[in-house]
């Protein structure tokens, strides 16, 4: 135990040291020191990885996006080594170069007519070019991979890679396409008007429809967009013997832009509280049922929920935080959620899915912005019906609502482009085609 504590403390010390070195490298304008700091971070995150291999990709770590990469690692056809790199290393440098500037740059707006902002961009880019040149001379990555072309701290990195002839690929993790007349298309056209074209080399997306969105928005030439599907969903095609152990609630339900929520008159906090209250009522009425609430991260609602469970002395509800939900979905009796790719993953396994609509004001605008799963899920309009459906599913009185396999597959294909379990193969083909 003592040795483990000592190791953790030493690890945390090295993490802290690498951040201090990074900050110092910015103050001294020293790309050599910055490169060394990056190297320390790289080692700490990937110390079991073999750096002396031929085909290497540097991955700017982001949850869920990296879940796709983890699936690639399991693929027998894979001969790439993926090295995770903390995105915060870029954010620290970005914040330093822009610290004296009162600017409104964000992921959706990067254009500016302010000379001081443009100078900061240039200085930041030049520093990245010098650092990356030193860093990649030592590590020799075939390419750099990120999960969204919009991240402001990475904009100048795209250009730095172009200058140094290092391939930069984005595996766009926000690739869901809701409807042909969704505000989503207008949003990306607006983003392009405020950001300009993507300056990296290639983008992979989940679906043909989302490729059409990016093409229409002129984000990048359509020839440089590859449709691969959602690689992490391959897991469910490989695990064909799912269990039925628990009721699973996927949280949070939705994290759209605030202005969209206002347009829709949708109180996501109130909605979330209502659904979780129903789940807790179900758990109290059915003490023999194992209920899991999967959270993405710790937040205020999470803490509130924890205290409610404790105060009501509910023994059969468990909160899981962070990490992916693969095994939880695989072994669920039923999955409850709203606007989550986890619902689509459950459909691959033909799990019963409940989508609660109690308290939601449904209109044309709302329908354009959400997953349309009504044909293959139980769309519940009131709380009592939700509890009744949960009980009936757990007692095997009702099952998956649709027997037509082709219909389910077409819905899965529409939203995540993975109806065959071969998305990892397609993404690896892109890497082999573009990075060799």
- Tell me the two tokens of residue 110: 């990067």
Those residues whose C-beta lies under 8 Å from the C-beta of residue 406, and which sit 6 or more positions away, are none
Share of the chain above pLDDT 70, in %: 89
Whether 256 and 393 map to the same domain: the answer is: yes
Which range of residues forms the domain containing residue 405? 236-416
pLDDT at 6 over 80: no
* Residue 177 confidence (pLDDT): 66
Q: Report the distance separating Cα 333 and Cα 397, nearest Å.
A: 12
Residue 98 DSSP one-character state: T
| Domain match, 176 and 315 both | no
Instruction: Give percent of the chain above pLDDT 90.
Output: 58
Reply yes or no on whether the pLDDT at 73 is more than 90: yes
Task: Say yes or no: 167 and 281 in one domain.
Answer: no
Q: Are residues 34 and 144 in the same domain?
A: yes
Chain position carrying tokens 């990245």: 128
At 204, is the pLDDT very low, low, confident or very high (cuts 50, 70, 90)?
very high
Number of domains in the chain: 2
Contacts 24+ apart (CB under 8 A), 27-35: 27/96, 29/127, 31/127, 31/130, 31/131, 31/133, 31/134, 32/134, 34/93, 34/127, 34/131, 35/131, 35/134, 35/135, 35/138
Query: Could you say which DSSP state residue 81 is in?
Result: E
- Collapsing DSSP to helix, strand or coil, 132 comes out as helix
Q: Is the pLDDT of residue 126 over 80?
A: yes
Cβ atoms < 10 Å from Cβ of 105: 20
pLDDT score of 57 = 96
Give 236's pLDDT tier (boundaries 50, 70, 90). very high
Question: Among 32-46, 125-139, 355-369, where is mean pLDDT lowest?
Answer: 355-369
pLDDT, greater one: 269 or 19: 19
Q: Kindly tell me if the per-residue pLDDT of 121 is higher than 80.
A: yes
**pLDDT score, position 246:** 96
Higher pLDDT, 394 or 302: 394
Name the pLDDT band for 194 (thresholds 50, 70, 90).
Answer: confident
**Residue 29 neighbours by CB distance under 10 Å:** 13
Assigned token pair, 325: 């939900």
pLDDT for 365 equals: 66
Same domain (yes/no): 182, 269:
no
Torsion angle, CA of 391/392/394/400, rounded to 10 degrees? Answer: -130
Report the C-alpha gap between 302 and 296 in whole angstroms.
Answer: 10
Instruction: State both tokens at 243.
Output: 């269990």
Same domain (yes/no): 150, 225 = yes
Minimum mean pLDDT among 175-184, 392-401, 418-427: which range? 175-184
Residues 116 and 241 in one domain: no
| Contact between 118 and 76 (Cβ < 8 Å) | no
Tell me whether residue 165 is exposed, middle or buried, using C-beta atoms within 10 angstroms of its C-beta: 0 to 12, 13 to 18, 19 or more. Answer: exposed
- Cβ–Cβ under 8 Å, residues 333 and 398: no
Q: What are phi and psi of 6, to 5 degrees?
A: -65, -45
Is there a single domain that holds both residue 103 and residue 211?
yes
CA 252, 256, 261, 264 torsion-angle sign = negative
Q: How far apart are CA 382 and CA 184, in angstroms?
A: 29
Whether the predicted pLDDT of 372 surpasses 60: yes
Q: Which residues contact 345 (CB under 8 A, 6 or more apart)?
A: 233, 236, 325, 326, 329
Q: Output the average pLDDT for the chain.
A: 88
Q: What is the DSSP string of 189-207?
A: HHHHHHH-S--SSEEEES-
- The answer to whether 333 and 393 are in contact (CB under 8 A) is yes
What does the pLDDT average to over 392-406?
Answer: 82
Q: Region 112-130: what's the mean pLDDT?
A: 94
361 or 21, which is more confident?
21
CA 221, 222, 228, 231 torsion: positive or negative? positive
Mean local confidence (pLDDT), 14-24: 91
pLDDT over threshold 80, residue 50:
no
Output the six-digit token pair for 211: 């490729």
Place of tokens 């300056």: 199
How much is the average pLDDT of 276-298?
Answer: 91
Residue range 292-351, pLDDT digits in tens: 999 876 666 667 788 888 888 899 999 998 888 999 999 999 999 988 889 999 999 999
Predicted confidence at residue 181, as pLDDT, reads: 67
Give the residue-averaged pLDDT of 180-189: 70
Q: Is the pLDDT of residue 47 over 70?
A: yes
pLDDT (0 to 100) of residue 2: 63
**DSSP state letters, 237-301:** HH-------EEEEES------HHHHHHHT--HHHHHHHHHHHHHHHHHH-TTS-EEEEESS--HH
Residue 258 has pLDDT above 60, yes or no: no
Range from 198-202, 217-221, 288-292, 334-338 carrying the lowest mean pLDDT? 217-221
Average pLDDT estimate for 128-155: 96
Q: In the prediction, which pLDDT does 141 show? A: 95
Residue 101 has pLDDT above 90, yes or no: no
| 256 has pLDDT over 70 | no
Same domain for 247 and 321: yes
| CATH code for the domain in which residue 84 is found | 3.40.50
Residue 49 — pLDDT band, cuts 50, 70, 90?
confident
Q: Which of 295, 297, 264 is nearest to 279 (CA)?
A: 295
Peptide bond into 182 cis (omega under 30): no
For residue 387, the model assigns a pLDDT of 96
SS3 354: strand
- Tokens encoding 296: 């993405």
Q: Are residues 313 and 185 in the same domain?
A: no
137 and 276 both lie in a single domain = no
CATH number for the domain that contains residue 330: 3.40.50.2000
Task: Tell me if 301 sits within 8 A of 321, measured CB to CB.
Answer: no
138 and 210 co-located in one domain: yes
Bridge partners, residue 60, by sequence: 85
Strand order in the sheet with 225-227: 81-85, 56-60, 143-146, 167-171, 202-205, 225-227
For residues 209 and 390, what is the distance between their CA atoms, to the nearest angstrom? 34
What value does the mean pLDDT take over residues 350-355?
Answer: 93
Q: What pLDDT band is residue 5 in, cutting at 50, 70 and 90?
A: confident
Q: Does 40 have pLDDT greater than 70?
A: yes
């Amino acid at each position: 135990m003592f040795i483990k504590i000592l190791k953790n403390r030493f690890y945390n010390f090295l993490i802290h040291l690498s951040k201090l070195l990074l900050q110092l490298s910015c103050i001294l304008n020293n790309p050599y020191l910055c490169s060394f700091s990056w190297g320390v971070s790289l080692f700490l995150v990937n110390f079991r990885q073999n750096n002396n291999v031929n085909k290497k990709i540097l991955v700017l770590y982001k949850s869920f996006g990296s879940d796709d990469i983890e699936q690639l690692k399991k693929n027998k056809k894979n001969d790439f080594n993926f090295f995770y790199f903390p995105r915060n290393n870029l954010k620290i440098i970005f914040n330093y170069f822009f610290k004296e500037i009162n600017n409104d740059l964000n992921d959706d707006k990067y254009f500016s007519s302010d000379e001081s902002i443009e100078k900061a961009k240039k200085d930041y880019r030049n520093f990245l070019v010098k650092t990356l040149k030193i860093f990649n001379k030592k590590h020799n990555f075939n390419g750099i991979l990120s999960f969204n072309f919009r991240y402001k701290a990475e904009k100048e990195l795209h250009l730095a890679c172009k200058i140094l002839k290092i391939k930069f690929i984005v595996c766009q993790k926000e690739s869901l396409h809701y409807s042909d007349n969704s505000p989503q298309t207008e949003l990306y056209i607006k983003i392009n008007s405020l950001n300009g074209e993507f300056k990296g080399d290639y983008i992979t997306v989940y679906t043909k429809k989302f490729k059409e969105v990016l093409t229409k928005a002129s984000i990048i030439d359509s020839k440089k967009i590859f449709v691969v599907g959602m690689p992490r969903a391959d897991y469910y095609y490989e695990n064909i013997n799912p269990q039925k152990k628990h009721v699973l609630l996927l949280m949070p339900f939705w994290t759209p832009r605030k202005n969209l929520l206002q347009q829709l008159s949708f109180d996501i906090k109130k909605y979330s509280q209502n659904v979780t209250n129903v789940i807790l009522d179900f758990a109290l009425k059915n003490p023999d049922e194992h209920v899991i609430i999967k959270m993405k991260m710790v937040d205020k609602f999470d803490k509130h929920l924890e205290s409610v469970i404790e105060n009501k002395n509910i023994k059969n509800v468990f909160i899981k935080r962070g990490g992916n939900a693969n095994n939880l979905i695989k072994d669920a009796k039923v999955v409850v959620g709203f606007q989550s790719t986890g619902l689509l993953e459950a459909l691959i396994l033909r799990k019963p899915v409940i989508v609660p609509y109690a308290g939601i004001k449904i209109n044309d605008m709302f329908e354009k912005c959400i997953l349309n799963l009504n044909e293959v899920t139980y769309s519940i309009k009131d709380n009592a019906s939700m509890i009744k459906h949960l009980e009936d599913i757990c007692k095997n009185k009702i099952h998956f609502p649709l027997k037509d396999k082709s219909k389910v597959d077409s819905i899965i294909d529409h939203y995540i482009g993975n109806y065959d379990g071969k998305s990892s193969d397609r993404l690896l083909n892109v890497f082999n085609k573009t990075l060799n």
